[in-house]
Structure 1
Amino acid sequence: MPPPVVKLSPECSVQGIRTFNREFSKGVESFTGIRYGEAERFERPKLAELWEGTRIANQRSKCCPQEFEFLENQYAPIQIVDDESNSDENCLELNIWRPSKIKESEKLPVVVWSCCNHYRHGSANVFNGDIFCCVNRVILVTFSFRLGLFGLAASEDGVLEGNYILLDQITALRWVQKYISNFGGDPNNVTFYGASSASSMVSCLLTSKLCRGLFHKVICESASALATSSRATPRKFASEMHFFILRKEGYKGSRNGNEIKQFLKSKSTDYLKVLLYSFLSVTTVIDGYVLEEDPVDVYDKGLFLKLPMLCGCVADEGYTFSQFALHNSNVKSDSHFVDLIRRAIRLYCYLFLSKEMGEKITKLVADKYRPEIQTHENFFKAIMEIYGNIYILSNVLKLARYHSEHNTTYLCELHHRPDYFEGPEFVSMVHSKDLAFKFGVPFSKKYGDLKWSDDDKEISLRLMKKHGEFIETGEISDWQKFTTKTKHTEIISLKSKTKLASVFKDDNYEFFNETIPNIVKEDKPIENFCLEEGMKTYMVASYVTFLGFDTSNNNY
């Protein structure tokens, strides 16, 4: 049988490859490494021009230069195919998978997967779509985009816009609208799917006028734009952070955007990919173009795109963040416990607080969650709960509440301990490790020699089918919808649901979404925040967190 060929225009074609999966007795066709956009360094992207003739589309997509060790750790123990050999600043390429034997009259549902962690790491190639498209008769698109400083560089005057990371994703969605019908996809039935930082950006783009008509359903998992830790940053603060770093790295010029841009354009890729220090918290920017105003304010006003939504989390979101802060160590003492809370508050959640307000909020959180019996394990469980709520749970629940007022919304949580996982017995599924199950990795031999149990495969199959049903119809037939009245959460587990309590708790929601924000309002206005002094505090706190120092005797 000849390889699959798709015409993008009368003069332009792509040739893919066809594979057959014996376990599912189905064929899948893939087209990888297709260029969807072009972008020079720190410039807006544009749709890629088509070519003449037929191109072979069987190579992995380019990915943005990054520190691949972090990407590997994020998805370990599955093997990552990306490395320096396929990294390139001009990385705007995508991959497409579809079921074999698509009829000419068919228009299949489309899901566009955005892969990003920490706004610095990600690639179109992390997950292969073969298994997902065996289980679901849908078309899966994955794509690479600019990350780190390449995607976020900002100057106060707007010469450096700060949202190239979002503009690239919008360009990929525009390409899908223009060409996916040639592959048998329905451009009027597109689901935009993101997890972790990508979920924050998907929910962020729901507030952008540039995205109207580009997608019709969303899947947001394990983060949202409503989190204090991933909230879009005012341009003034983002630009000052970048300027502060540049000064530390030898830049002698002014804050003028053209001057900074010229300096950055003169530097090597290797220099730029590590310039936004790994321990710095970075997010998208309120630029007045992609994000005309703070997405949180847009949600408050009810002006976001009101689309069907599937959102959720895993049982132990806080575990990964706790391990990062503790460097696989223990919470040593009550003062160490308080310090871990202080770092989360000052580094990732409330960057503009005065020192006095920062201490007030730190004490409030510590007093609420301090365990009665102070053992290492109990302290660790408390930090897990705090980090899980402050980074993920409280804002995902808030996102579900907003959307449920206007359209179909499902809220789910995954309780399953992978067979390979060697963490504490009281921990099951942790941040980002669920994605392997949602893309069918337990059924694939392309990710190394991991041994997957029958339970792992059963959970994986269930997740793929439920996601596929939502992608196709915007509904999940045997799930109850989430509303502010029912507050129903679908618990996904092989255990009896009667034995599992939801991780979404009203008390935690009110504490992190109402109590703390109301107290923070008492602080001095953000206009009075000293950026220079704040950056010094922020850098010191970030540095000690990244290196794992115990700073329990220091109030930064």
Structure 2
Amino acid sequence: MYMFIFWCVSGILFNDVTQGFLFGDQYPQPAFAPTSCGPVRGRFDGNAYGYRGIPYAVPPVRTRRWQPPEPLSHADGTCWPGTFDASILKTQCVQRLDDRVVGTEDCLHLNVWTPTNMTSANLPVMVFIHGGSLEIGNGDTPGYAPNEQLARDTNTVYVSMNYRLQAFGFMALDILTQNSKTNTSGNYGFMDQILALKWVQENIRNFGGDPNKVTLFGQSSGGTSVMVLLASPLAKGLFQKAWMLSASPLLTKTLDGAVIDNRVFLESTNCTNITCLQQLSPDVITQAVPWDVYPFWAMADQVDVPIKGQLDGGLAIVDGFVLQETPQDAWINGRSNDVPLIIGTTAQESDFVIFPNELLNQSIYEEHVMSNLGTFSTDIAKMALRLYPVGKESVRYQFTSMVSDVRVGCGNDVMALWAAVNTNSPVYRYVVTSQPSAPVKPFGILSDTVLSFHGWDGYAFFGNLPDVLEHPSTDDILFEANIRREIMSFVQNGSPYSIDWLPFPESVALLSDDTTVTSGYHAYQCNFWMQNGFFSYSWVN
């Protein structure tokens, strides 16, 4: 599933670090770069240089499980001897995949893709945080990550990282707090991300990047991670711009609340002390997670309209260390990291799984909306159907638009307003309205969407449309070119390419094969949802 194909090139590679060696016409050439922990050997594929699986922390295993990550150091002997082989992919972090447990705990690696190894290049840097509900994924999934060609085409250095996931990255328990160096628990995955950003500050010049030109970006829970790092004092000064793609805007759970919710996990393990927890296998820990009982770590309801009182627990928490307050309060109180920001969502976020056939029938669609939203009130359910009527648009379009507004889009408007009103830096807001020209299967998930699905902007920016579309159309390719043009202008200049795309709330950009600007997207619908308390039913990670 995670195979990577290296393109074959010929010739001799020279850079200012060391001279490469001729492998022959059918093999990529080796490339070398120094780091604070020793030299690394990557590959040059004819487009750019790729360095994969570089460790950035001491493996968080045994007594280091559920502790803040520790940087590698020559002094304590945790750096590698000789030259590290960064030419091949490394393991992903422990996660659940199709009811199997895959990955290892020794997973804190990062990847660098760069068009040059010249230390004097001072190129902009983009650091990517992958999504996956803070539970699955990795930083180098083909199609859903930067690559050599992207680095060459945009003349930018890219970094992605693995970070601890699910119980290993976000479990909060009294037992863990009592044995913590920070007197907190949870949010370990965010601590990993912060350490990776510190690695970038220390090392990225060796790969042609400028540590003062770092744009942080992430999709889905990666976007949520960006929101957290914007609010965290620990991330101050580690990046100069940020781009959130389809972030979950709701983050209000406290450490105390998470500890109460996660007692079900502790009961499943039969552990009463830290030593017991540290000795459990990754499989046992993963199986003990409350996936299908409250606090519902699987969050399976988030591609549907909500039912009153049915709320997911949320993995990201206000822990008092990474987050001293909610992101909302950090913005309102003027304590956020004040950098230029782009906040993006897609028009049909929820349409990335197989759509239920029964909901394609208009009467069943209406009955379903009345049943779920009727738990709030009959009037709310009736108004929802009036706001998303079937007629000019299909049932599927209207239902997924409704779910996407309630769960993602409208909450991101609220988040954008917090940031815009309470920072000095510009905040830009967009909605992707482009639709793929043929059915797609994003993230390897069985799907048949032809709507503006969750992740469409990421696939386009990465230049990986063929990973979800066998034959991209002219409109697909124009969308790819358009979003790259807008984002790279932001990375280089702090503002999008289109001059009429003004900071929020003055305008919202609609991104398709070109950029159009409006005063607001689904503003009437969003006012309805937010005024009736539906922000609490936004996506949560």
Bigger drift between 475-484 and 57-66 goes to 475-484
- 1:270 and 2:299 matched: no
Q: Which residue of 2 aligns with 1:57?
A: 86
Is contact 1:223–1:391 with CA below 8 Å preserved after alignment? no
Deviations 1:459-489 (A, max 9, x none): 2233223322222222223343444552x12
Maintained 8 Å contact 1:45/1:168: yes
Alignment of 1:461-476 (within 5 A): 461-476=481-496
RMSD between superposed Cα atoms in Å = 3.3
The SS at the match of 2:257 is helix
Partner residue, 1:369: 384
**Paired residue for 1:110, among 101, 116, 125?**
125
Question: Conserved in 1, the CA contact under 8 Å of 2:328 and 2:418?
Answer: no
Maintained 8 Å contact 2:124/2:492? yes
Gap regions ≥5 residues in structure 2: 1-11, 13-19, 21-29, 74-78, 179-183, 292-296, 300-311, 442-446
Out of 33, 39, 47, the residue aligned to residue 71 of structure 2 is 47
How far the C-alpha of 1:386 sits from its partner, in A, is 3.1
Deviation at 1:217, TM superposition (A): 0.5
Matches for 1:232-271 after TM superposition, within 5 Å = 232-247=252-267, 249=268, 251=270, 259-271=272-284
Contact conserved, 1:125 with 1:142, CA < 8 A, in 2? yes
More helix by share: 1
Whether the 8 Å CA contact 1:61–1:95 is kept in 2: the answer is no
Separation in structure 1 between the aligned mates of residue 389 and residue 501 of structure 2, nearest angstrom: 40
Deviations 1:174-195 (A, max 9, x none): 1111111111211111111011
Q: Which has the higher contact order (CA 8 A, sep 6+)?
A: 1
Whether the 8 Å CA contact 1:233–1:284 is kept in 2: the answer is yes
Residue 297 of structure 1, CA deviation: 2.1
Q: Deviations over 1:312-359 (max 9, x none)?
A: 1112123348x57x58755736553244447xxxxxxxxxxxxxxxx4
C-alpha change, 1:307 and 1:362, in structure 2 (3 Å) is farther
Write the deviation string for residues 479-536 of structure 1: whole angstroms up to 9, x where unpaired.
43444552x12222237959xx887222233233344279x9xxxxxxxxxxxxxxxx
1:391 aligned onto 2:407: yes
Does 1:169 find its partner at 2:182? no
* Cα distance in 2 between the residues matched to 1:69 and 1:219: 31
TM-aligned CA distance change 1:502 to 1:495, over 3 Å: farther
CA contact (8 A) 2:218 2:245 kept: yes
Counterpart Cα distance in 2 of 1:496 and 1:272: 47
C-alpha contact 1:371 1:379 (8 A) present in aligned 2: no
Paired position in structure 2 for 1:438 = 461
TM-score (norm: length of structure 2): 0.77
CA contact (8 A) 1:131 1:439 kept: no
Q: Could you say what secondary structure the match of 1:236 adopts?
A: helix
Instruction: State the AA in 2 paired with 1:507.
Output: Y
Classify 1:339/1:449 alpha carbon distance in 2 versus 1 (closer, same or farther; 3 Å). Answer: closer
Secondary structure at the aligned position of 1:318 is classed as: coil
- The structure-2 alpha-carbon separation of the partners of 1:413 and 1:333, relative to structure 1 and needing over 3 Å to count, comes to closer
Structure 1 residue 143, shift from structure 2 partner: 0.5
What SS does structure 2 have at the residue aligned with 1:214?
A: coil
Alignment: residue pair count: 463
**Which of 473, 477, 489 in structure 1 is aligned with 2:508?**
489
Give distance in 2, aligned partners of 1:103 and 1:333.
Answer: 58
2:9 is matched with which residue? none
Report if the CA contact (8 A) 1:143-1:172 is conserved: yes
Report deviation, 1:270: 1.7
Report SS of the residue matched to 2:264. helix
Judged with a 3 Å threshold, the aligned counterparts in structure 2 of structure 1 residues 263 and 45 are, in CA distance, closer, same or farther, namely: same
2:35 maps to what in 1?
8
Match of 1:195 in 2: 219
Q: Which residue of 2 aligns with 1:122?
A: 137
C-alpha distance in structure 2 between counterparts of 1:115 and 1:372, whole Å = 33
State the AA in 2 paired with 1:55: F
Partner residue in 2 for 1:131: 149
> Does residue 1:312 correspond to 2:335, yes or no?
no
Distance 2:136 2:92 in 1: 9
Please state whether the residue corresponding to 1:113 is helix, strand or coil. strand
Q: Say which is worse superposed, 406-415 or 183-192, in terms of deviation.
A: 406-415
- Does 1:513 find its partner at 2:530? yes
Does the Cα contact within 8 Å between 1:133 and 1:140 map onto a contact in 2? yes
Match of 1:28 in 2: 48
CA distance in 1, matches of 2:197, 2:461: 22
The unaligned stretches of length 5 or more in structure 1 are 21-26, 72-82, 254-258, 343-358, 521-537, 539-556
Change (3 A) 1:211 1:250: closer
Give the equivalent residue in structure 1 for 2:24. Answer: none
1:409 CA drift (Å):
2.2
* Alpha-carbon spacing, 1:328–1:128, altered in 2? closer, same or farther (3 Å): farther
1:92-149: CA deviations, max 9, x gaps? Answer: 000100003x544221111110002212112011224222112211100010011111
SS of 1:150's equivalent in the other structure is helix
CA distance in 2, matches of 1:373, 1:17: 51
Percent identity over the alignment?
23
Cα deviation per residue 1:423-467 (whole Å; 9 max; x = unaligned)? 999952111233221101137xxx599332333223223322332
Q: Does 1:456 align with 2:476?
A: yes
